Amino acid sequence: MGFDFPDLRALIPRPGRRFSDTAAFSSLARGVFQKAAIRDASGALVIDDLSLVVAMCELHFKVKRRAPGVTQPPTRDAVREVMEGFDANRDGVLDEEEFVRFAKRWWNDAGVLWLYRAALVSAVTAVVLPEAAAALRRTVPGGREVPKGIWVGAAGLLFKIVSTAVAARMRALDA
């Protein structure tokens, strides 16, 4: 009795190939479509804007299990905005092919933004905050009596407050 390993070559991304271009991603997207789709008047499976948000969150969590930390779940407003470009027949819903194209585009765009944001936050928290805290500790009178961890924690809290305020301001400007 032997064991045959499955052929995984189609699942492994080649250099220059995005994860969303793999058969595995398409399979995940089609499975999510089948799970989240509703029937329209003609009986065809479709996804409207509300079920699209649910489907994209489901896809996000399915992919996140296999590739942690790649993107964040989408918001309803963001999905609605992007959906208009993928509804080829302008009926207000997406069929399976439109959904798979939508999911690939969303994943490519959102993944790149997430990686950029993650790199920026990592650089700030690993390099800038400790250095700023050390400089403040040396500069402020009596600062050397306060433990380093308190300075780094305070700098991290200040960074979180500022980044949240900037993000809220950017959302307000986009609205």
Q: How far apart are CA 64 and CA 120, in angstroms?
A: 21
Report the b/e string of 45-75 with b at 16+ CB within 10 A. ebbebebbbebbbbbbeebeeeeeebbeebe
pLDDT on residue 1: 46
Per-residue confidence band for 34, with pLDDT thresholds at 50, 70 and 90: very high
Residue with tokens 């690939």: 104
Query: Between 20 and 55, where is the model more confident?
Result: 55
CB-neighbour burial class of residue 171 (10 A; exposed 0-12, middle 13-18, buried 19+): exposed
CB-neighbour burial class of residue 130 (10 A; exposed 0-12, middle 13-18, buried 19+): middle
pTM, whole model, 2 decimals? Answer: 0.54
Three-state DSSP state, 40: coil
Q: pLDDT per residue over 7-29, tens digit each?
A: 555 555 455 556 777 788 888 89
| For the chain, domain boundaries | 19-174
- pLDDT of 99 > 80? The answer is yes
Residues contacting residue 33 through CB under 8 Å, at least 6 positions apart: 45, 47, 55, 96, 99, 100
